[in-house]
Amino acid sequence: MSEDPLETIIMQTINGAIATIPGYLEEIKENKDTLKVENAQEFVYGIVMGMALGMSGAILSAQDKPPTVEDQMRVRDIIYKHIPEIRERIFS
């Protein structure tokens, strides 16, 4: 695991989001008439990315000082470098 505390927290968030993938896919399958989701995998990808970006943004906001643009870009870059792994888990 990373020695960077922020990256460690972001990775925990991503891993938690990834763990929800099977449940979301099953939920969509079981409730397709109600949810009317055309592409379950893309929908879940959006959920997972939203969770990762949203929770990481919340972590930044909880710091003593407001997050800088550089802080926000760093978080985005950390998350974006894990997109292939996230997509692999959803689309395989």
Domain that holds residue 83: 5-91
Count how many domains the chain has: 1
* Full pLDDT tens readout for the chain, 92 residues: 557 888 898 889 899 999 999 999 999 999 999 999 999 999 999 999 999 999 888 888 888 888 889 988 999 999 999 999 999 999 98
**Quick one: which of 57, 92, 89, 91 has its CA closest to 72?**
57
Q: Give CA–CA dist 11/1, Å, rounded.
A: 9
Please tell me the pTM assigned to this model: 0.83
